[in-house]
Amino acid sequence: MPDTPQEGSTAPAPAWEPPPYADAGRFSEHEVTVGTGRFAVPGTVSVPRGRTPGPGVVLLAGGGPFDRDETSGPNKLLKDLAWGLAARGATVLRFDKATYVHPEVATAPDLTMTQEYVPYAVDAIDLLRRRPSVDSGRVFVLGHSMGGKIAPAVAAAAPAVAGVVIMAGDAQPMHHAAVRVISHLATVMPDQVPATVVDGFRRQADLVDGSELTLTTPASDLPFGLPASYWLELRDYDPVAIAAGLAKPLLILQGGRDYQVTVADDLARWRAGLTNHAKADIRVYGADNHLFFPGTGPSTPAEYGAPQHVDPVVVADIADWLSRCTK
């Protein structure tokens, strides 16, 4: 489901500071353009200094109009990952989503998840493969949340992809997950999420499931205001089945404290669907939330508002996995 920044405060977010595992002296950064034509978007490539060609990684942000860093309040999940992995020898490309740069894309009546992600990701893969710091046979896709959900389809569309990293990738149908999440929030934050909001999400999810959903169904009647085209595609989209058909290494990462994408509702589907996949590596980080920030106790949206960084163990595990993978 869409990942939204922490709301409720008008104070400016504290300036982002690099995580301890990101040594900025080990890499440089350069601006690039991803995509073509009027809907092209800007991006940043982080390039290790003085290394022989190594792995390349394209980062995909979660659902919603995110910038290239997946900025959420004071936090920048994708920038943490880019800097952490570049400091360990990977060339990393991240880019603003078209729905962030071009508002008309976000409000297009025929928008789909595929249109939102796949053409840009494929172009970013091609860009990385041409860079001298990258071994063209070792370009990977790493997606977080909805970016993880679409990552298998990106790999299917770009045969040159060497492997896929899925961080908190939702596998439960998104409209069902929306009801689950809002019900959870109504339990832990009853003063902010009344029962009427839960009932509204249930009605919208029922509409998505029903035969009456057509391309002419108003977006205002559907979850998150996304158009009917988006939901018609999502109803038939199965990321686990697509991943199971990929003869590529897969790294599936899940936070144990994540209430948006959960061990019980989402990771269970990945585990069941990838049982016979010889190259699937599934890992759970018990203390981490949806943004892979370590903590204790039940996770809530308020937790995202404090300056934090992606778990250093997660960054190290991804870097080590990349170093071991070959096409």
pLDDT tens per residue, range 128-181: 999 999 999 999 999 999 999 999 999 999 999 999 999 999 999 999 999 999
Confidence of residue 294 (pLDDT cuts 50, 70, 90): very high
Q: Which CATH class is domain 24-172+238-324?
A: alpha beta
pLDDT at residue 103, rounded to an integer: 92
Mean per-residue pLDDT over the chain, rounded: 94
Residue 12 has pLDDT above 70, yes or no: no
Compute the distance between CA of residue 142 and CA of residue 118 in angstroms, rounded to an integer: 13
pLDDT at residue 59, rounded to an integer: 98
Compute the distance between CA of residue 163 and CA of residue 61 in angstroms, rounded to an integer: 17
Compute the distance between CA of residue 285 and CA of residue 299 in angstroms, rounded to an integer: 14
pLDDT at residue 14, rounded to an integer: 76
pLDDT at residue 5, rounded to an integer: 41
Digit-coded pLDDT (tens) for 49-105 = 987 899 999 999 999 999 999 999 999 999 999 999 999 999 999 999 999 999 999
Contacts of 103 (CB under 8 A, 6+ apart): 65
Q: Yes or no: say if 151 and 60 are a contact pair by the CB < 8 Å rule.
A: yes
pLDDT at residue 52, rounded to an integer: 85
pLDDT at residue 50, rounded to an integer: 85
Secondary structure of the chain as H, E, C letters: CCCCCCCCCCCCCCCCCCCCCCCHHHEEEEEEEECCHHHCEEEEEEEECCCCCEEEEEEECCCCCCCCCCEECCEEHHHHHHHHHHCCCCEEEEECCHHHHCHHHHCCCCCCHHHHHHHHHHHHHHHHHCCCCEEEEEEEEEEECHHHHHHHHHHHHCCCCCEEEEECCCCCCHHHHHHHHHHHHHHHCCCCCCHHHHHHHHHHHHHHHCCCCCCCCCHHHCHHHCCHHHHHHHHCCCHHHHHHCCCCCEEEEEECCCCCCCHHHHHHHHHHHCCCCCCEEEEEECCECCCCCECCCCCCHHHHHCCCCCCHHHHHHHHHHHHHCCC
Residues pairing with 54 in the sheet? 134
Q: Mean pLDDT throughout 272-295?
A: 97
Confidence of residue 15 (pLDDT cuts 50, 70, 90): confident
Q: Which residue has the tokens 């025929």?
A: 110
Q: Yes or no: say if 53 and 129 are a contact pair by the CB < 8 Å rule.
A: no
Digit-coded pLDDT (tens) for 195-225 = 999 999 999 999 999 999 999 999 999 999 9
Q: Which residues are catalytic?
A: 145, 258, 290
